[in-house]
């Protein structure tokens, strides 16, 4: 019922968008944007996000639950992005998540969630008219970093699957305005739960759960300059399978979790001290299925620097 946080992590990463003024090669921060950092640069930082919902969907049925009240999750993420080349970045992220329900008796959960690693490659930049189209291929994996309980929704901190992701992304920039569209396929491994039998639409006698794979579509547009990025983001997350939560049943990791969010992000890059960046933003679930109607707010602080000092002047 909480959105699988790996994907949220991807969204939180949006907050990490920051920019180094390098013509149209801005610094990269997420697996879902068109921003790269240059060769031999490293960007590290920390972000915090807060998610909260009180309405959620059981299938199509939207409701609240007096035994949950508001379900919130907080995340602290550490990230790093390294410019292997101007066209090839590596991003890693390590989130810690804690959940809480404001009503009822269910205990909150917390722990290290899933570490992710993305390879981000921009093979082509093509001038089109006065603007530039760039194409990206992004591949990633995520792996649970602790033995947290996936089968305790909505309090679980994640789905505990090993995920493999592939994203294709197109960006068009004209002057300081940009539009980015991407599609991502997420392959999710089976998970092992503590129960040896469970009911979906029939009883299963196994501790293995087949999580549906996922398609994610992301569109964003806005303004980027040397000191500012401001963007609006729409995202759709669609489970390729899974089943609906029945009325008044408990959620389950292999539910068909779908949602569409709208959000906005801002980033400010200081000229002094150079390399310091602050981000903030948020989003809201405008429609969903078997998920909470989350409102997410996030903020982050990052530092971008060259790890080869002799080259810094060239930049």
Partner 1 sequence: MPVYLDRDMKKNFYYLLPVLAAVVATLSSCNKTIVERNSQFQALSPAKLDLNADTWKPVLLTSVTQFPVATPDAISSPAYQADLNEIKAYQRGITDDQKALIAYWSAGAVLRWNEILRDLVAKHNLPPYQNDDGTYPAPSSANPFAYPQFPFSNPPYAARAYAYVSAVQYDALLAAWHYKNVYNRPAPYKNDATIQALVPKSDLPSYPSEDAVVSGSAVEMLKLLFPTEIAYIEQKEADQKLYRMIAGANTRAEWDAGEALGKQVAGVFAARARTDGTGAAIGTPAYWHSLENNTAATGETPWISLEYPKRPPMLPLFGKVLPFLFPAATVPTLRPSPPPSTNSDQFKKETAEVLSYSKNPTRDNEAIVAFWADGAGTYAPPGHWDAIAAEEFVKQNYSEVRWARNMALLNMAEMDAAIVCWDAKYFYFNPRPSQTDGAIKTLTGIPNFPSYTSGHSNFSGAAATLLTYLLPDRGTKFTDMAQQAAMSRLYGAIHYRSDCEVGLVTGKAVGNYAVQRAKTDGADQ
Q: Which residue's CB is nearer to partner 1, number 139 or number 234?
A: 139
Determine contact, residues 76/47, Cβ cutoff 8 Å.
yes
307 counts as binding partner 1 under rule CB under 8 A: no
Restricted to residues 202-241, the positions that interact with partner 1 (CB under 8 A) are 202-206, 208-210
Q: How many residues bind partner 1 (CB under 8 A)?
A: 55
Other beta carbons less than 10 A from residue 309's beta carbon: 9
Quote the least distance from Cβ 86 to partner 1, whole Å.
8
List the one residue from 62, 76, 123, 271 that touches partner 1 (CB under 8 A).
123
Restricted to residues 28-47, the positions that interact with partner 1 (CB under 8 A) are 39
Evaluate the CA torsion angle 220, 221, 224, 227 in order and state its sign. Answer: negative
Q: Which stretch binds partner 1 (CB under 8 A): 176-184, 198-206, 225-233, 280-288?
A: 198-206
53 counts as binding partner 1 under rule CB under 8 A: no
Q: Which residue's CB is nearer to partner 1, number 47 or number 191?
A: 191
88 counts as binding partner 1 under rule CB under 8 A: yes
Report which of 163, 157, 198, 173 is spatially closest to residue 22, judged by C-alpha positions. Answer: 173
Q: Which two tokens stand for residue 133?
A: 């189209």
Report which of 71, 56, 75 is spatially closest to residue 15, judged by C-alpha positions. Answer: 75
Q: 244-273 mask for partner 1 (x: CB under 8 A)?
A: --xxxxx-----------------------
Determine contact, residues 113/95, Cβ cutoff 8 Å.
yes
Quote the least distance from Cβ 296 to partner 1, whole Å.
24
Q: Which residue's CB is nearer to partner 1, number 38 or number 292?
A: 38
Q: Which two tokens stand for residue 282?
A: 């948020």
Q: Which two tokens stand for residue 88?
A: 């090839």
Restricted to residues 134-193, the positions that interact with partner 1 (CB under 8 A) are 137, 139, 141, 143, 147, 149, 151-152, 162, 164, 166, 168, 187, 189-190, 193
Q: Can you tell me the distance from the alpha carbon of 42 to that of 39, in angstroms, rounded to the nearest whole number? A: 9
Q: Which residue's CB is nearer to partner 1, number 54 or number 231?
A: 54
Quote the least distance from Cβ 93 to partner 1, whole Å.
14
297 counts as binding partner 1 under rule CB under 8 A: no
126 counts as binding partner 1 under rule CB under 8 A: no
Quote the least distance from Cβ 178 to partner 1, whole Å.
22
Instruction: Give the alpha-carbon dihedral of 285, 110, 244, 255, to 10 degrees.
Output: 110
DSSP one-letter string for 234-295 = EEEEEEES-BPPPTTPPP-TTB--EEEEEEEEEEEE-TTTTTEEEEEEEEEEEEEESSB--E
Q: Is 40 left (phi over 0), alpha (psi -120 to 50) or beta?
A: left
User: Is the bond leading into 154 cis (omega within 30 degrees of zero)?
Assistant: yes
Residues within the interface to partner 1 (CB under 8 A): 39, 63, 66-67, 84-88, 90, 103-108, 117, 119, 121, 123, 137, 139, 141, 143, 147, 149, 151-152, 162, 164, 166, 168, 187, 189-190, 193-199, 202-206, 208-210, 246-250
């Amino acid at each position: 019922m909480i959105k699988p946080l790996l994907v949220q992590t991807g969204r939180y990463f949006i907050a990490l968008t920051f920019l180094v003024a390098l013509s149209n090669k801005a610094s990269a921060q997420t697996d879902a944007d068109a921003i790269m950092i240059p060769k031999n640069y490293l960007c590290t930082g920390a972000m915090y996000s807060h998610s909260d919902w009180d309405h959620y969907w059981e299938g199509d049925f939207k409701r609240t639950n007096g035994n949950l009240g508001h379900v919130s999750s907080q995340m602290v993420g550490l990230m790093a992005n390294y410019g292997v080349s101007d066209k090839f970045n590596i991003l890693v992220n390590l989130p810690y998540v804690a959940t809480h329900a404001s009503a009822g008796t269910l205990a909150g959960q917390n722990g290290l969630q899933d570490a992710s690693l993305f390879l981000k490659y921009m093979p082509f930049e093509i001038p089109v008219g006065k603007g530039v189209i760039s194409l990206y291929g992004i591949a990633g994996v995520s792996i649970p970093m602790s033995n947290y309980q996936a089968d305790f929704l909505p309090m679980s901190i994640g789905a505990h699957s090993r995920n493999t992701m592939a994203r294709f992304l197109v960006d068009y920039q004209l002057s300081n305005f940009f539009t980015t569209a991407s599609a991502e396929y997420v392959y999710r491994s089976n998970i092992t739960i503590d129960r040896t039998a469970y009911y979906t639409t029939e009883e299963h006698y196994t501790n293995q759960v087949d999580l549906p794979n996922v398609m994610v579509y992301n569109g964003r547009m806005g303004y980027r300059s040397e000191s500012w990025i401001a963007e609006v983001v729409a995202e759709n997350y669609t489970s390729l399978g899974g089943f609906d939560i029945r009325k008044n049943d408990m959620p389950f990791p292999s539910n068909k979790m779908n949602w569409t969010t709208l959000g906005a992000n801002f980033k400010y890059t200081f000229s002094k001290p150079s390399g310091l960046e602050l981000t903030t933003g948020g989003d809201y679930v405008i429609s969903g299925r078997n998920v909470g109607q989350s409102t997410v707010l996030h903020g982050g602080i990052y530092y971008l620097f060259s790890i080869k000092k002799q080259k810094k002047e060239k930049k």
